[in-house]
Structure 1
Amino acid sequence: MSLSDFTIMDYLSNIVDILLVWFVIYKLIMVIRGTKAVQLLKGIFVIIIVRSLSEFLGFHTLSWMMEQALTWGFLAIIIIFQPELRRALEQLGRGRFFSRANMQEDNEQARVIEAIVKATSYMAKRRIGALISIELGTGMSDYIETGIPLNSVITSELLINIFIPNTPLHDGAVILQKNRVAAAACYLPLSESPFISKELGTRHRAAMGISEVTDSLTVVVSEETGAISLTKNGELHRDVKLDEFKELLELELIHSNKQASSSKWNWRVKKHG
């Protein structure tokens, strides 16, 4: 069959077919992300690569061993991951298979929010100064490089410990990137706006500065008053109550309704302090 025999519908059908296959693969990856099946997939890829190289180099015995590992490995996968496969089939039957990835992401974001709220509440009550910037759409790699790299899981205990006075990492900002503590003791650009209240210190100016050049969400805890402030898009929210603080984090990090998020931000904005 020559290329001239293909119609436009045939091309479109092939394109849609390929896109659907990639979509299913993507969703499968999202489903197993964060589970022990990820390590298994890495092992399978290693075996496939070794088998291909052994065939190319003429290592027949090694190639035969890798082929046997792949042949019997799928049976072992079915036995080892029987609970996970059963759960996936149950979710498929309930129509929740493709929504699981979003559920996992929302659950992780909710865990991160709880850690931030708990740490912020602890530091606010004890008037421990803090500056936490959360990367959203605009990359913050340039600012991460100015600090001490951590690449750690976000926990309230870690955030609190970083900002304890007179510790090596307390002076500067913590930057959260992709649900990880990317770095601490980072330098953020100070806002040069003349409209910022004179009573606000360096942390607030840094929070305003980073919000003017990125779309990040930045949390400030005042060491003088213990007040919680938030900055985003060059706007400052001062003296945010803990329940409002959690709600704003959820709107920005979990909910995809940007209009609702924006309206929440606009109703109590105190621009420039």
Structure 2
Amino acid sequence: MPVAFFERFTDLTWVEVLVNILDILLVWYVLYKLITIIKGTKAVQLLKGVFVVVIAWFVTKQLGLTTMYWIMEQVLTWGFLAVIIIFQPELRRALEQIGRGKLFARSSMAEEEERDRLVEAVTKSVGYMAKRRIGALMSIERETGLSEYVETGIPMNSNLTSELLINIFIPNTPLHDGAVIIQQDRIAAAACYLPLSESPFISKELGTRHRAALGLSEVTDAITIVVSEETGAISLTRNGDLHRNLPPEEFETLLRKMWFGPVPEPQAASKRKRGGKKNG
């Protein structure tokens, strides 16, 4: 069997080999794109269920469990129609994107849309709190893990939204003291303790929130946002650098640059026409 299998491939011409490789790569690429389409939807859980049924079918066949094998076979035979019915919204969305020619561009588009959503959520919450002088402290994890600081707070593991961020820092609520830590696109924990900077060069007018933000930036590459309770001023720290008294538009631009890197010129221009100039 192995010899015959090997001889089958040795008889192929180099053109046929390239065609087979291309065929395999295309199948993997299509599967990858289908996974990106259903990612974050209920279809993921349903696919796990289908996977379990397939494994059960194989195991019952190997063990000779006749009745169970017959049941699994019926499930797989008629399951195709059930999958079409259950996955109807996802299939319709995929077909619509194929019709618009956006199936293969969806991954980068979805990633960019998610980045915009995250920056907008943080910017909106910070702007709201700055106007009302609600003190806030938020740290965004990057390459260096912040798990040890997450453990000092109250676990949340919630979707990152501006409404939730604002609600956390409302004065006299259980979670308003301490820092919120953001990991990827989720609020990992609130009321976390951050290390205070012991630098003698910090201005005396800066309070505990700013010292905590600088302290974390000295030991990690995290981005930390501070809203002053006394003045409503917005500050950003990263790698030991403190950017103070940032206007909302400049804060958004700097946050995006720190979080996701420089924005391409055409996109930056299209997103910030209202300002009249591009903030670096």
Whether TM-score is above 0.5 comes out as yes
Alignment check: 8 A CA contact 1:189 1:209 kept:
yes
1:195 aligns with 2:224: no
Residue in 2 that maps onto 1:41: 47
Equivalent residue runs for 1:1-273 within 5 Å: 1=4, 2=6, 21-82=27-88, 84-92=90-98, 94-254=100-260
Alignment check: 8 A CA contact 1:106 1:254 kept:
no
Alignment check: 8 A CA contact 2:256 2:262 kept:
no
The percent of aligned pairs where both chains have the same amino acid is: 65
Cα pair distance change 1:20/1:200, threshold 3 Å: farther
Cα pair distance change 1:47/1:14, threshold 3 Å: same
For normalisation by structure 1, the TM-score amounts to 0.81
Q: Within 2, Cα distance between the matches of 1:15 and 1:189? A: 53
DSSP 3-state at the match of 2:191: strand
RMSD: 3.1
Q: Within 1, Cα distance between the matches of 2:204 and 2:85? A: 66
Cα pair distance change 1:46/1:92, threshold 3 Å: same
Q: Which runs of 5+ in 1 are unaligned?
A: 260-266
Q: Within 2, Cα distance between the matches of 1:196 and 1:15? A: 60
Alignment check: 8 A CA contact 1:109 1:253 kept:
no
Aligned residues: 262
Cα pair distance change 1:175/1:14, threshold 3 Å: farther
Alignment check: 8 A CA contact 1:117 1:246 kept:
yes
DSSP 3-state at the match of 1:46: helix
Q: Within 1, Cα distance between the matches of 2:83 and 2:257? A: 40
DSSP 3-state at the match of 1:28: helix
Q: Within 2, Cα distance between the matches of 1:116 and 1:243? A: 12
Shift, 1:198, TM fit? 1.6
Q: Within 2, Cα distance between the matches of 1:165 and 1:83? A: 42
Q: Within 2, Cα distance between the matches of 1:217 and 1:210? A: 9
Shift, 1:218, TM fit? 1.1
Q: Within 2, Cα distance between the matches of 1:54 and 1:41? A: 20
Cα pair distance change 1:183/1:16, threshold 3 Å: farther
Shift, 1:120, TM fit? 1.1
Shift, 1:240, TM fit? 0.7
Alignment check: 8 A CA contact 1:133 1:219 kept:
yes
Shift, 1:141, TM fit? 1.3
Cα pair distance change 1:64/1:147, threshold 3 Å: same
Q: Residues 216-269 of structure 1: CA distance to partner in whole angstroms, max 9, x if unpaired?
A: 21110011111000011221110011111122233344566599xxxxxxx999
Q: Within 1, Cα distance between the matches of 2:224 and 2:116? A: 17
Shift, 1:145, TM fit? 1.1
Q: Within 1, Cα distance between the matches of 2:20 and 2:213? A: 50
Q: Within 2, Cα distance between the matches of 1:69 and 1:27? A: 27
DSSP 3-state at the match of 1:42: helix
Larger Rg: 2
